[in-house]
Structure 1
Amino acid sequence: MSAVQGRAPIDAARILAGWAQACRPMGEGDLEQVDAVERQIYSFPWTRGNFADSLRSGYDAWVVRDGAQLLGYCVSMVALDEAHLLNISVAPTAQGRGLGRRLLAWVEQRAAVHHARSLLLEVRPSNAVAKGMYERAGYERIGLRRGYYPAARGREDAIVMRKMLVLPDTGDVHGG
């Protein structure tokens, strides 16, 4: 399938620049604010140690700021020709303005630049907002991980979703 047949590359840098927000690599100095936002928005948040380990492992981790205010962040990794979205989050004060979609486009572009053929993610079935965002962005359900997430009453499944990525230099979509 080519870009002409329905999928064009996303220029996430242009999208983010249009918002006049600074998207930059996450560093140790960001972890206090990242941890605070994470604890605000999730019942079972990543720990500061999870983020620090991701940085030490060389994962692709980014923050979006408006001045000193942390608006959102994302963490992904590429292994061989497949990327995996590990965490994508938007601060409560910045939610509902399309930043999650823009961050997702950023992750897709970064993964394609690193020659990933697809991007995988997991989402809770109970997270209707995120699930809807992924579906609108072209992600397809490819599986279910039973008991993947901790939940108030035991465990919650994870829906596994995937999107084939567009190579930035050719416009070609990788086939499955």
Structure 2
Amino acid sequence: MTINACLDCNRSFSLDEEYFLNVLTILSESPTLKARTELGGSIYKSRLRSDKLYNRLLNSLVNGEDGRTYFRPETERLRKIIEKYAFGLYYWKYKKVAPLNLFKCVGFYPFQVEETRPAEIFILIHNERFQAKKWTHIQEDVFSYIVVRDWSRNNKLTMIFHMHNTAWAVIEIPYPRGKITSNAQLKLFN
């Protein structure tokens, strides 16, 4: 799935997208992502190609008070990519464009041994009988999303991503309004 975007907008995200994929790989147990870190894989090549990227990832390792090592990513870079993805999916789903600043990532929850996803987000993906709502699968076990009304925010729309069986992202999105946008190249910035 691709969305036409102007060259400047597309290029402005490339380093952050590379960082985002590296972070997912660090957090993941997904065989699909782990294969990319092996000799010849795209993540392996990106780390080999860029000392700056590799050092940034190493500098994100912090020692906890409990003696364990933790990974603390640059959250603003993650947020930027998640909001860009939400913008593109919004256009793909509704054929409408809303300003990028109306897409607000409000949560990024890696899957871990202990559950970190807030209960109110988990509840959003279920109906009143606690049956799972229908997700849109872009690629099974790689990327899925759902759009729900968030009762805790006066029924505003919320988009939730499920990425590589590694993390959930939660994004506030606007209601689709106005006329249908043409399929021209999208400008993310005004």
Whether TM exceeds 0.5 here: the answer is no
The structure with the greater share of residues assigned to strand is 1
Q: Which of 1 and 2 has higher RCO (CA within 8 Å, sep 6+)? A: 2
The structure with the greater share of residues assigned to helix is 2
Structure with greater Cα Rg: 2
